Amino acid sequence: MDIEEYKKIIVPLRPQLLSIAYRITKNVADAEDVVQDVCLRIWHRRESFSELSNVAAFSTTMTKNLSVDRVRSKHYTSHEPLLDNHIAKEPLPDKVMEMQDSSETVRGIIKKLPPMQQKVFEMKDLNGYETDEIAASMNISTEAVRNNLSRARKRLRDLYLESNRKKKGENDGY
């Protein structure tokens, strides 16, 4: 891969990679650092990319992995002072359990979607692909992508609200 190929392939991916990194790190500076690191690693390994068929997918995966690594390393090396009232910024254990339960519920609901809606939702909302990229990779029209995405989001919202109503009903019983 020479500089022209790099500019043609990697530079247009930066916004998508930034979006993915930001979604994971929840911090603009960290996301920019991750994407910078990904771009540098790709540049340093450019000779081995000539036989790689999908540099975009590789870049996306590398971005996700480095973002997760950054979040983990910050979590373990963070020496932030306690708040004035000596309570750490970390959520309380019951809130952590609640968030984990909610996350598991959403994952379960996503699995209930029809395969096409599930794939489109994951590509767009979880992986940050553009509508035209999804359409091209799935051999469907952009209109079909938008329709499936809209239906998936509506179904997810309805199922999530229904799930919460059921949980609230269960908790009200004691």
CATH number of domain containing 58: 1.10.1740.10
* Residue 83 included in any domain: no
Q: Tokens in use for 164? A: 């919460």
State which residues form the domain around 30: 1-77
Q: How many residues does the chain have?
A: 174
Q: What is the CATH number of the domain that holds 103?
A: 1.10.10.10
Rounded distance, CA 19 to CA 35, Å? 10
State the Cα–Cα distance between residues 157 and 4, nearest whole angstrom. Answer: 44
Which tens digit of pLDDT belongs to each residue from 116-150?
999 998 888 878 888 998 999 899 999 999 999 99
What confidence tens digit (pLDDT) does each residue in 23-55 have? 888 888 888 999 999 888 888 877 776 666 677
Instruction: Write down which residue in 77, 106, 124 finishes a domain.
Output: 77
pLDDT of 100 strictly over 80: no
The helix (run of H) or strand (run of E) holding residue 14 is: helix 14-25
Is 120 in the same domain as 71? no
Domain count, the chain: 2
